[in-house]
Structure 1
Amino acid sequence: MTTTVNLEPISGPSAWRGDELAKSTEWIYHLSDAELAELETVGRRFVADDPDLRTVTAADYPIPACARLNEESARQLDSGRGFLLVRGLKTQEYGDTLAGAIFFILGLHLGKPIGQNQMGDLLDHVVATSNKTMDDEGALPSRVRDRLPFHSDSSDVVALMCLRGAKEGGASSLVSGTTIYNEILRRRPDLAPLLFEPFHWDWRRQDPDSPEMTYDSPIISYVDGIFSMYAGNSMIFSAQEYPGVPPLTDDQVELLHLFDEISQEPGLPIDMDFQPGDVQWLLNYAALHSRTSYDDYAEPERRRHLLRLWLRRDVGRPMVDRFGKHVVVMGEPSTPVKSGGRFRIAEAVQVNDDWGN
């Protein structure tokens, strides 16, 4: 394994710009009639069988008609631009349980779902359950309406399914980690090497029951010619509040501010307005994600509601030691810290309004 600090621009399909991608629809996969029919049929069987989400496997619910869909999804995640939007599911006709079942089946064919909260839920929700903002103590990014900074999640793949969109706003925003790096290298080559050095990250604000306050990871891994990024600068800055965490240097602070500035520059991100039924696959090491702020409908049943999966996807991607949220072992769902997990599909698609309030 060869680990290097690469101070040359990185090319390839992961080095995209949003303004260029937005001119085409190459990043959208439209389901065929055969694929749609198969997913609806298998999804209904999943609902009728009511399997335990912790033990069900892809082999239990084969989808041979979706072979091309699975191949294209895997190709874009593993060696392409790092994301794909799948369109065509009729979730407004299905109801949330069938929609969630189809989403979970698709996830099983791309990876292994892992727990997302202290209860061990494998299917989680992005929905505002209160009027908190990100400035409020204990606010969860998935449960507020604020704009979010670009960041990586705690998994190999993060997937979203849109059940209902917002009244206004709430676009999903993605930006290429490779393009951010290339821009930093072009503008401030003196700061770029710092991306390969470890930073302290706030573990406690991500996981209230974490055994330690922080963990450490570099922002960039470059091993055997494979580029990976792990980002979320707000977690680096908030880690500074804990005793014993070394203070950031002036250069590190300047780098982090430059990183955020570049990630938000017009033309770099791509914004997509989710339609009901849209499914977005994203490799956390290739692209960062965010969303714009949004307004909800007054009726609770019409509020913006996305389902979310975190997947472990073992594609042999080489990365430096202790990269990303390495303190979380991705594999078998960990024993929940708290009871109340929902491991049957009809329960899992229901929002826990107490969570995140």
Structure 2
Amino acid sequence: MEYAPIKTTAAWEAREVGDRWLRILAAEEQDALAAMLDVVKASGKPMLALTRHDVPLGAFAPVIRELRDQLEDGIGFMTLRGVPSDRFSVEDNRLLFWALATHLGVARPQGKASQLMSDVRADGGTYRAVGGRGYNTNAELDYHADGTDWVGLYCLQVARSGGLSRLASTAAIHNEILKREPALLNRLYQPFPYNRQNEEAADEAPWYWAPVFSLAEGQFASRYIRNHVRSGQTRDDVPRLEPEGHRALDIIQDLAETDRFRFDMVLERGDMQWVNNHVLIHSRTQFEDHDDPKLKRHLLRLWLSVPNARPLCEGLRDAYKAVETNTVRGGFQGLRITAEIVAYQARAAQALGMRDTPYRVPAEG
């Protein structure tokens, strides 16, 4: 099959990004976030009971609109700088992050514990292990996308050194591969075997097929999680990846690491970074932490299914559980889905005008 270049604002090279990635909050916008948090706390509602109707944005509403526009129709990412995190405790920052996200999408589970918000810090994980994930290590990470429409990171503490955030456009990389090695591009549109990293639900297979590049209704999407393909090759029941498949995965990583395609940024305290996983891949350099536990690098992470995100191809259904637009999809279901999570998802989907895809609560015992 012959493929054409992807024409989208998200097909950028690093020199073209300029200052579009950064939105510095004005004083009145910072105050609006603090006022929002006060209202949410006064309501007494737990996080999972909140919907966007409980969260008044006030002067912050235009920022939310800018964020949506940039992630879906712009360069695919934006960092909000100046969130007044120093005014709040860790738990209040957690609540603020969650409350703000109620206006953006439905939070999706991120692993075996079915957690809807992850603490990103070095907690002794091993990235290259069969069940390894990057968020609980200090390791340098391969370029990858997370398993939902958007990923958000909220920086509460920075490392003593390192931990640089890196992004690259898969749409731009797609176009470069088309010029250089169209045979490898064709391979990337075919399925690859992805390991579920020992985090599959009881009714899920331990691995699945998914293409790296795909088109649906003329819109481009990518799913590149190299570490999950690599770890799958250690399983006896996963088909061996042929040399062309390895080369196709290599060329994405190799291009993403070049100055031409790699966009680096330093996340500061109070930064909130949002990324569209369908058009970008991201990485992080290795970091060295502080000795004081209170100063160790700490970010909060949300995976969101968002309203009116692009449709996905049928080949991604096993990965996302739904491929239709305006439908709750994505995430790693894990083993601890509860009735509370199911009820939260239904409320959040209804408040955002999305179709729900209900989980089945596992039987106890």
TM-score by length of 2: 0.84
* Cα drift, residue 40 of structure 1: 0.3
Seen in structure 2, the aligned counterparts of structure 1 residues 33 and 322 have a Cα distance that, compared at 3 Å, is same
- Match in the other structure for 1:7: 3
- Match in the other structure for 1:27: 21
- 2: distance between equivalents of 1:324 and 1:172? 29
- Match in the other structure for 1:167: 160
Task: Name the SS of the counterpart of 1:104 in structure 2.
Answer: helix
C-alpha deviations, 1:179-208, integer Å up to 9, x for none?
Answer: 111121111112211111111111134548
C-alpha deviations, 1:305-355, integer Å up to 9, x for none?
Answer: 000011111315122103176255646999872499999xxxxxxxxxxxx
Structure 2 counterpart of 1:110, from 80, 104, 107: 104
- Segments of structure 2 that go 5 or more residues without pairing to the other structure are 323-327, 342-365
Q: Check the 8 A contact 2:97/2:154 in 1, yes or no.
A: yes
Structure 1 counterpart of 2:250, from 251, 257, 266: 257
- 2: distance between equivalents of 1:240 and 1:277? 39
Paired residue total: 336
Seen in structure 2, the aligned counterparts of structure 1 residues 342 and 163 have a Cα distance that, compared at 3 Å, is farther
C-alpha deviations, 1:63-98, integer Å up to 9, x for none?
Answer: 132221111111111111111111111212322122
Q: Check the 8 A contact 1:147/1:293 in 2, yes or no.
A: yes
* Cα drift, residue 28 of structure 1: 0.6
- Match in the other structure for 1:65: 59
Task: Name the SS of the counterpart of 2:294 in structure 1.
Answer: helix
Divergent runs of 4+, >6 A: 332-336, 339-343
Q: Check the 8 A contact 1:150/1:289 in 2, yes or no.
A: yes
Question: 1:1-357 residue pairs with structure 2 within 5 A?
Answer: 7-21=3-17, 24-130=18-124, 132-136=125-129, 138-205=131-198, 207=200, 211-323=204-316, 326=319, 328=321, 330=328, 337-338=335-336
* Cα drift, residue 49 of structure 1: 3.1
Seen in structure 2, the aligned counterparts of structure 1 residues 120 and 51 have a Cα distance that, compared at 3 Å, is farther
- 1: distance between equivalents of 2:140 and 2:340? 28
Seen in structure 2, the aligned counterparts of structure 1 residues 254 and 324 have a Cα distance that, compared at 3 Å, is farther
Structure with higher RCO (Cα < 8 A, 6+ apart): 1
Cα RMSD for the two superposed structures: 2.6
- Match in the other structure for 1:355: none
Seen in structure 2, the aligned counterparts of structure 1 residues 60 and 262 have a Cα distance that, compared at 3 Å, is same
- 2: distance between equivalents of 1:333 and 1:149? 19
Q: Check the 8 A contact 2:320/2:330 in 1, yes or no.
A: no
Seen in structure 2, the aligned counterparts of structure 1 residues 227 and 332 have a Cα distance that, compared at 3 Å, is closer
Q: Check the 8 A contact 1:172/1:290 in 2, yes or no.
A: yes
- 2: distance between equivalents of 1:186 and 1:333? 33
Task: Report the AA paired with residue 112 of structure 2.
Answer: Q
- Segments of structure 1 that go 5 or more residues without pairing to the other structure are 344-357
- 2: distance between equivalents of 1:197 and 1:40? 48
Identity among equivalent pairs (%): 28
- 1: distance between equivalents of 2:88 and 2:317? 37
Seen in structure 2, the aligned counterparts of structure 1 residues 6 and 230 have a Cα distance that, compared at 3 Å, is farther
* Cα drift, residue 128 of structure 1: 0.5
- 2: distance between equivalents of 1:50 and 1:335? 28
- 2: distance between equivalents of 1:126 and 1:100? 12
Q: Check the 8 A contact 1:77/1:83 in 2, yes or no.
A: yes
* Cα drift, residue 42 of structure 1: 1.2
Seen in structure 2, the aligned counterparts of structure 1 residues 325 and 314 have a Cα distance that, compared at 3 Å, is farther
TM-score by length of 1: 0.86
